[in-house]
Chain A
Amino acid sequence: MTDLLASLRYEDWILHALIWLPLVGMAHVVVSSPERAKNLAFVWSSIVFVLSLGLWWGYEPGGGGFMLESSTPWIESWGVSYSLGVDGISVFMVMLTTFTSAIAILGSFEYVKTRRKAFYALMLLLETGVLGVFLATDIFLFYVFFELTLVPMYFIVGIWGGERRIYAAVKFFLYTAVGSLLMLVAILYIYFGGNAGSFGYEAFLNADLGLREQLWLFSAFALAFGIKVPVFPLHTWLPDAHVEAPTPGSVILAAVLLKMGTYGFMRFLLPFFPAAAQHPTVVAVMLVLGVVGIIYAAWVAAVQPDAKKLVAYTSVAHMGFVVIGIFALTLNGLQGGMVVMISHGISTGALFLLLGMMYERRHTRLIEDFGGLGRAAPLFATAFVITALASIGLPGTSGFVGEFLALLGTFETHALAAIIAATGVVFAAYYMLPMVQRVLFNRLDKPQNRKFPDLSRREIVILAPMVALMIGIGVHPTPILERMEPSVQRVLARVEGAGAELETASEEPPHIGLEGYVGDARSGAGERVPGAAARED
Chain B
Amino acid sequence: MVTGVTTVESTVTSLAGAMPLSTPAFTVQEAAPWEPVLPGLIVLLPLLGFVINGFLALRAAAASSAAVRSGTEWNPFAGEATPATHRLPTLVGPGVMLIAFALALLNFIGMPDDLHEPFVRSYWSWIATGDLRIEAALQLDQLSAVMMLVVTGVGFLIHVFSVGYMKDDVGYPRYFSYLNLFVFFMLVLVMGSGYATMFVGWEGVGLCSYLLIGYWFSDREKSDAGKKAFIVNRIGDVGFLVAMFLIYQAFGTLDFGEVFAGAEGQLAAGGATVTAITLLLMLGAAGKSAQVPLHVWLPDAMAGPTPVSALIHAATMVTAGVYMVARSSVLYALAPVSQAVVAGVGVLTALVAATIAIQQYDIKKVLAYSTVSQLGFMFLAAGIGAFTAAIFHLVTHAFFKALLFLGAGAVIHSMHHAAHHGEGHLDEQDMRNMGGLRKYMPLTCALMWIATLAIAGIWPFAGFFSKDEIIWYTAAWAGAESNPFGALYAVYWAVALVTALMTAFYMTRLMVMTFHGTNRTGAAGAAHLHEAPPVMTLPLIALAALSIFGGWINVPEGLRESFAGLFGVLPMSEWLHHWLEPVTHAAAEIQVAGFGEAAHSAPLGGGEVSWALASTVAAALTVAVSARLLGTRKYVAAAADSGPRAGLPRVLHDKWYFDEAYEAVIVRPLLRLSRWCWRFIDDVIIDGFVNATAQFARLAGWIMSLFQTGQVNMYAFVLTVGVLLVLGTTVFLR
A interface residue numbers (CB < 8 A to B): 171, 174-175, 233, 235-237, 239, 296, 299-300, 302-304, 331-332, 335, 372, 374-379, 382, 389, 394-396, 400-401, 404-405, 407-408, 411-412, 415, 418-419, 422-423, 425-426, 428-430, 433-434, 437, 440-444, 450-454, 475-478, 481-482, 484-485, 489, 518, 521-522, 528, 530-531, 533-534, 536-537
- Hey, which chain B residues are within 8 Å of A536, CB to CB? 267-268, 271-273
- Hey, which chain A residues are within 8 Å of B69, CB to CB? 376, 450-453
CB–CB B682/A450 < 8 A: no
- Hey, which chain A residues are within 8 Å of B210, CB to CB? 433
- Hey, which chain A residues are within 8 Å of B226, CB to CB? 437
CB–CB A303/B265 < 8 A: no
* CB-CB contacts below 8 Å: B205-238 with A: 207, 210, 214, 217-220, 223-224, 226-227, 230-231, 234-235, 237-238
- The verdict on B65 contacting chain A, using a C-beta distance below 8 Å, is yes
CB–CB B245/A534 < 8 A: no
Q: How far is the CB of B87 from chain A (nearest CB, A)?
A: 19
CB–CB A482/B690 < 8 A: no
- The verdict on B699 contacting chain A, using a C-beta distance below 8 Å, is no
CB–CB B127/A429 < 8 A: no
CB–CB A331/B130 < 8 A: yes
CB–CB A537/B272 < 8 A: yes
Q: List 22 A-B contacts (CB under 8 A).
A: A233-B686, A239-B682, A299-B674, A299-B677, A300-B674, A303-B678, A331-B129, A332-B130, A382-B58, A407-B245, A415-B249, A425-B241, A429-B230, A429-B234, A433-B227, A441-B217, A452-B69, A475-B136, A476-B126, A478-B127, A536-B273, A537-B272
Instruction: Determine the distance from Cα of A332 to Cα of B248 in the docked complex, in whole angstroms.
Output: 11
- Hey, which chain A residues are within 8 Å of B129, CB to CB? 331-332, 335, 405, 478, 481-482, 484-485
CB–CB A423/B68 < 8 A: no
CB–CB B125/A478 < 8 A: yes
CB–CB A482/B268 < 8 A: no
* Smallest Cβ-Cβ distance to A178: which chain B residue: B693
- Hey, which chain B residues are within 8 Å of A408, CB to CB? 132, 244-245, 248
CB–CB B682/A443 < 8 A: no
Which of B199, B204, B238, B244 has the most chain A CB atoms inside 10 A of its CB? B238
Instruction: Determine the distance from Cα of A527 to Cα of B128 in the docked complex, in whole angstroms.
Output: 19
Which of B65, B125, B131, B136 has the most chain A CB atoms inside 10 A of its CB? B65
- The verdict on B251 contacting chain A, using a C-beta distance below 8 Å, is yes
Q: How far is the CB of A455 from chain B (nearest CB, A)?
A: 10
- Hey, which chain A residues are within 8 Å of B57, CB to CB? 378
Q: How far is the CB of A148 from chain B (nearest CB, A)?
A: 24
CB–CB B130/A485 < 8 A: yes
- The verdict on B250 contacting chain A, using a C-beta distance below 8 Å, is yes
State the majority secondary structure of interface residues on B: helix
Instruction: Determine the distance from Cα of A489 to Cα of B268 in the docked complex, in whole angstroms.
Output: 33
- The verdict on B10 contacting chain A, using a C-beta distance below 8 Å, is no
A374 in contact with B673 given A335-B129, A477-B127, A478-B126 (CB within 8 Å) = no
- The verdict on B732 contacting chain A, using a C-beta distance below 8 Å, is no
- Hey, which chain B residues are within 8 Å of A452, CB to CB? 69
CB–CB B678/A478 < 8 A: no
B interface residue numbers (CB < 8 A to A): 57-58, 61-62, 64-65, 68-69, 71, 124-132, 136, 196, 199-200, 202-204, 207, 210, 214, 217-220, 223-224, 226-227, 230-231, 234-235, 237-238, 241-242, 244-246, 248-252, 265-268, 271-273, 670-671, 673-675, 677-678, 681-682, 686-687, 690, 694
* Smallest Cβ-Cβ distance to B271: which chain A residue: A537
* Smallest Cβ-Cβ distance to B231: which chain A residue: A429
A425 in contact with B238 given A378-B62, A485-B129 (CB within 8 Å) = yes
Choose among B68, B126, B250, B267 the residue that contacts A444 (Cβ–Cβ < 8 A): B68
Q: How far is the CB of B452 from chain A (nearest CB, A)?
A: 36
CB–CB B58/A404 < 8 A: no
CB–CB B251/A372 < 8 A: no
CB–CB A412/B249 < 8 A: yes
Given contacts A299-B678, A443-B218, 11 further A-B contacts (CB under 8 A): A376-B65, A376-B68, A378-B57, A379-B61, A395-B199, A404-B196, A418-B245, A430-B231, A437-B223, A481-B129, A536-B272
- Hey, which chain B residues are within 8 Å of A375, CB to CB? 64-65, 68, 218
Choose among A396, A422, A428 the residue that contacts B242 (Cβ–Cβ < 8 A): A422
CB–CB B224/A437 < 8 A: yes
Choose among A374, A412, A482 the residue that contacts B128 (Cβ–Cβ < 8 A): A482
Instruction: Determine the distance from Cα of A152 to Cα of B62 in the docked complex, in whole angstroms.
Output: 39
CB–CB A303/B241 < 8 A: no
CB–CB A522/B131 < 8 A: yes
Instruction: Determine the distance from Cα of A446 to Cα of B65 in the docked complex, in whole angstroms.
Output: 15
A-B contact count (CB 8 A): 200
CB–CB B126/A441 < 8 A: no
Choose among A377, A394, A444, A481 the residue that contacts B203 (Cβ–Cβ < 8 A): A394
Which of B235, B678, B686 has the most chain A CB atoms inside 10 A of its CB? B678
* Smallest Cβ-Cβ distance to B235: which chain A residue: A426
* Smallest Cβ-Cβ distance to B203: which chain A residue: A395
State the majority secondary structure of interface residues on A: helix
A478 in contact with B124 given A395-B200, A396-B204, A408-B132 (CB within 8 Å) = yes
CB–CB B227/A303 < 8 A: no
- Hey, which chain A residues are within 8 Å of B196, CB to CB? 404
- Hey, which chain B residues are within 8 Å of A382, CB to CB? 58
Instruction: Determine the distance from Cα of A519 to Cα of B652 in the docked complex, in whole angstroms.
Output: 60
- Hey, which chain A residues are within 8 Å of B670, CB to CB? 299, 430
Going nearest first, the 3 A-B pairs with the smallest beta carbon separation are A378-B61, A411-B245, A441-B217
CB–CB B58/A302 < 8 A: no
* Smallest Cβ-Cβ distance to B687: which chain A residue: A236
Instruction: Determine the distance from Cα of A437 to Cα of B231 in the docked complex, in whole angstroms.
Output: 13
* Smallest Cβ-Cβ distance to A389: which chain B residue: B207
- Hey, which chain B residues are within 8 Å of A422, CB to CB? 238, 241-242
- Hey, which chain A residues are within 8 Å of B690, CB to CB? 171, 175, 236-237
A300 in contact with B64 given A374-B217, A411-B242, A433-B230 (CB within 8 Å) = no
CB–CB A481/B268 < 8 A: no
Q: How far is the CB of B654 from chain A (nearest CB, A)?
A: 25
- Hey, which chain B residues are within 8 Å of A453, CB to CB? 69
CB–CB B273/A481 < 8 A: no
* Smallest Cβ-Cβ distance to A530: which chain B residue: B252
- Hey, which chain A residues are within 8 Å of B687, CB to CB? 236
- Hey, which chain A residues are within 8 Å of B252, CB to CB? 528, 530, 533
CB–CB B266/A534 < 8 A: yes
Q: How far is the CB of A289 from chain B (nearest CB, A)?
A: 13
- Hey, which chain A residues are within 8 Å of B68, CB to CB? 375-376, 444, 450
Q: How far is the CB of A196 from chain B (nearest CB, A)?
A: 31
Instruction: Determine the distance from Cα of A445 to Cα of B2 in the docked complex, in whole angstroms.
Output: 63
* Smallest Cβ-Cβ distance to A372: which chain B residue: B218
Instruction: Determine the distance from Cα of A394 to Cα of B208 in the docked complex, in whole angstroms.
Output: 12
Instruction: Determine the distance from Cα of A394 to Cα of B572 in the docked complex, in whole angstroms.
Output: 42
Instruction: Determine the distance from Cα of A304 to Cα of B675 in the docked complex, in whole angstroms.
Output: 8
Instruction: Determine the distance from Cα of A481 to Cα of B127 in the docked complex, in whole angstroms.
Output: 8
Choose among B128, B200, B214, B266 the residue that contacts A478 (Cβ–Cβ < 8 A): B128
- Hey, which chain B residues are within 8 Å of A434, CB to CB? 227
CB–CB A378/B65 < 8 A: yes
CB–CB A395/B220 < 8 A: no
* Smallest Cβ-Cβ distance to B132: which chain A residue: A332
CB–CB A441/B218 < 8 A: yes
Instruction: Determine the distance from Cα of A482 to Cα of B132 in the docked complex, in whole angstroms.
Output: 12
- Hey, which chain A residues are within 8 Å of B214, CB to CB? 437, 441
- Hey, which chain B residues are within 8 Å of A425, CB to CB? 234, 237-238, 241
Instruction: Determine the distance from Cα of A107 to Cα of B244 in the docked complex, in whole angstroms.
Output: 40
- Hey, which chain B residues are within 8 Å of A478, CB to CB? 124-129
Instruction: Determine the distance from Cα of A429 to Cα of B678 in the docked complex, in whole angstroms.
Output: 18
Which of A434, A530, A534 has the most chain B CB atoms inside 10 A of its CB? A534
CB–CB A444/B218 < 8 A: yes
* Smallest Cβ-Cβ distance to A488: which chain B residue: B129
- Hey, which chain B residues are within 8 Å of A440, CB to CB? 217
Q: How far is the CB of A303 from chain B (nearest CB, A)?
A: 4
CB–CB B671/A415 < 8 A: no
Instruction: Determine the distance from Cα of A331 to Cα of B248 in the docked complex, in whole angstroms.
Output: 14
Choose among B238, B266, B271, B671 the residue that contacts A303 (Cβ–Cβ < 8 A): B671
